[in-house]
Amino acid sequence: MPELPEVETIRRQLSHRLTGRRIVDARAFDHDKFLPGLGAVGHTVSSVGRRGKYLLIRLEPTAADEPQRSGPGELELIVHLGMTGQLSHSCSEDHVDPYERAAWRLDDGSELVLRDVRRFGRVALVPAGDHSHSATLATMGPEPFDDAFDAELLRSRVNGSRRAIKTHLLSQRIVAGVGNIYADEALWDAGVHPAARRLTRPAATRLVESLRAVLRAGIDAGGTTLRDYRDAGGGSGSFQFQLRCYGRAGEPCERCGSLLRRTTIDARSTTWCPSCQRR
């Protein structure tokens, strides 16, 4: 599943391509998860944002059409890529893609296309800033680079619960945008066992710093492409060549030489070092 670095890469690529463009037409796969996107027609993109793993495309009524509108003013087109979603922007091509789930034609002739093989992604159109439709968005924790995300917040949530630290990270309620790949990498970097249920202040501080470091590295590398992820231009990320823990079970730890191990924590595959990440 695309995580914060992948979605942020797409956001940065789309921001200058979409901002100021008017959506003149749209099509969608006949399912409630994608049909809301049709309502974006007639609006102009004012900005492209991100919250956690969600893209937030801010829309405003096109000036010429505004007097005829009786609904809300600014809207937000929310796109979640799910497991296999790909959001691309290119010149329109006349070909049929059986995995296309939604598409928006812009006033310059280009198209923004959501392709999703497994259909785990979704599209929503809501009044700008209203995230009450999504329990995940409505209860999401701070962004990892915000000052609100710090060691004390992390400790207060983890130490008052019986859940494993990795489960907390993936829940999106302590920090936004972290998924399986970057959680394993950050926990390894900080020397924190993924099944730990308590954090000391030094461990929590290290983990906050490690999360920020691996996410920044992921963004700088354009994300991680293991199978499905592609950026807005169809290119691959390169962070997979920098992975030091995730998916490397059975290989020697780069820090101590012990063989990395794999287990399952709350149904999520997890890799860790038995020597560097003691409970």
Q: What is the pLDDT of residue 67?
A: 45
Report the C-alpha gap between 133 and 119 in whole angstroms. 19
Residue 69 clears pLDDT 50, i.e. is over it: no
Q: Which of 29-43, 58-72, 152-166, 264-278 has the lowest mean pLDDT?
A: 58-72
- Closest by CA to 84, choosing from 225, 237, 182, 271, is 225
Q: What is the pLDDT of residue 28?
A: 98
Residue 72 clears pLDDT 80, i.e. is over it: no
Domains detected in the chain:
4-138 (3.20.190.10), 151-272 (1.10.8.50)
Residues with catalytic function = 2-3, 53, 268
Mean pLDDT to the nearest integer, 19-27: 98
Under a CB-based contact definition with an 8 Å cutoff, are residues 208 and 169 in contact?
no
Residue 90 clears pLDDT 60, i.e. is over it: yes
Q: What percent of the chain has pLDDT over 70?
A: 95
**Residue 62 pLDDT class (50, 70, 90 cuts):** confident
pTM over cut 0.85: yes
Mean pLDDT to the nearest integer, 193-207: 97
Report the C-alpha gap between 191 and 196 in whole angstroms. 11
Mean pLDDT to the nearest integer, 162-185: 97
Interval 124-145: pLDDT, tens:
999 999 999 999 999 999 999 9
Q: What is the pLDDT of residue 64?
A: 60
Report the C-alpha gap between 78 and 55 in whole angstroms. 6
Residue 268 clears pLDDT 90, i.e. is over it: yes
**Residue 103 pLDDT class (50, 70, 90 cuts):** very high
Residue for token digits 């924190």?
192
Element (H, E) at 118: none
Q: What is the pLDDT of residue 70?
A: 39
**What is the longest distance spanned by two Cα atoms in the chain?**
68
Residue for token digits 């999360």?
211
Report the C-alpha gap between 130 and 150 in whole angstroms. 26
Mean pLDDT of the chain: 95
